[in-house]
Amino acid sequence: MPANTADMRVERRPKLFENVAQQLRAQILAGDYPVGEKLPTETRMTELFGVSRTVVREAVAALAADSMVEVRHGAGVFVIDNPTLKISAITADMGNRISRAVNVLEVRMGIEIESAGLAAQRRSPSQEARIQEAFFEFEALLKQGEPTGKADFAFHREIAAATNNEFYVEILDALGDRTIPCDRSSPWYSVEVLSPDYLGGLQREHLRILQAISAGDADAARDAMRAHLVAAKERYRQRLSGQQADYSQNHMEAAAKPALKDTVRRSVGR
C-alpha cells in the first residue's frame, strides 16, 4: 500500500441532519435537556437550526436509534436515560491525541482482562465458536489486504459476550470500534497500522487469547489479554518516540540550512 494512502483519503462531509443530531446530543449530555424533558417542537427546531422539517425528523430519528430520545406520538420527543451514551459521547469527541488513546486503553484493560477470564470460565460452545469465527475473519482480511478493524472489534466483543454479563458488552459497544487503531474510523488510524508486521503481531496476540479461552484457562486468558493491551500501549509509546525523532530531525535540518548558506556565501566571497 502506498505510503501516502492516508493523505489520499477523502473525508466525507457530514449531512445536515448529522450536524443537527450532534448539536442536540451535545446539549442533552450537557444537561440542557435533562432526562424526561421534552425537546423543542419540530417547528421550533427548524427555526433554531435553520433547516427543514425533514432534516429535523432525520436528526431525531438518529437520536432515537441511539436510545437517547423517545418519540411519543401526539406528545413530542422526550429525553430518556441511557448511561452508556455518556461513554459514547466521550469516544466520539476524543480527537487524535495519543494521550486519549492511552486513557481509553486503560479503561479497556479494566474491562477486557476480566472479561477474558470470565469468557474462559463461562463460554458456551456457540460463543466459543463465534470468538473463533471473528479470529479467522481477521485472518482472512489480513491475507486479502483488507481493513481488519471491524473483525478486530468483533473478536473483542464476542469475548465480552461470552462472559454472559450484558454489561461488558454494553460498555464495549459504548466505547465503539473507533477505539481499535487499525479501524479506518479510529482517530488514531495511520498507514503503519495496516502493515503486515503490525497486523500479524496483533493476530499472534489474539491467538494466545483464543487458545486460553478454548482451554478454559481463566488465568492464562487474563494474562494473554493483559499482554495484548499492554503491547498496544507500548505501540502508542513507540509512536510518540517516533514523533519526537521526526521533530528532532526536522529541527536539525532547518537549523543546518542557514549555516550551510553562510558557508556557501563565504566560499563564494573568497
What is the structure's pLDDT at 257? 59
Cell of 160: 465480552
Helix (H, G, I), strand (E, B) or coil at 52: coil
Query: DSSP class of residue 195?
Result: S
Q: Which residue has the cell 488513546?
A: 101
The pLDDT of residue 105 is 83
CB 69, CB 82: distance < 8 Å = no
Taking the C-alpha atoms of residue 66 and residue 28, their distance in angstroms, rounded to an integer, is 13
Least Cα distance to 155 among 202, 198, 191, 107 occurs for 202
Q: Cβ neighbours of residue 191 under 8 Å, at least 6 residues apart?
A: 1, 3, 4, 5, 6
Q: Report the candidate in 153, 125, 152 with the shortest Cα–Cα distance to residue 139.
A: 152
Q: What is the pLDDT of residues 105-133, one digit of tens each?
A: 888 999 999 999 999 999 999 999 999 99
Give me Rg for the CA atoms of the chain.
Answer: 24
Query: Contact at 8 Å (CB) between 158 and 116?
Result: no
Q: What's the grid cell of residue 175?
A: 466505547
10: which DSSP letter? P
* pLDDT value for 264: 54
Taking only the tens of pLDDT, the chain with its 270 residues reads 444 444 433 444 557 888 898 889 888 877 788 889 999 999 999 999 999 999 999 999 988 887 789 999 889 999 987 665 655 555 555 445 556 667 788 889 999 999 999 999 999 999 999 999 999 999 999 999 888 888 999 999 999 999 999 989 988 887 776 567 555 544 445 555 567 888 899 999 999 999 999 999 999 999 999 999 999 888 777 766 655 555 666 666 666 556 555 665 665 555
> Angle at CA 98, nearest 5°, toward 92 and 102?
85
3-state DSSP assignment of residue 138? helix
* Largest pairwise CA distance in the chain: 91
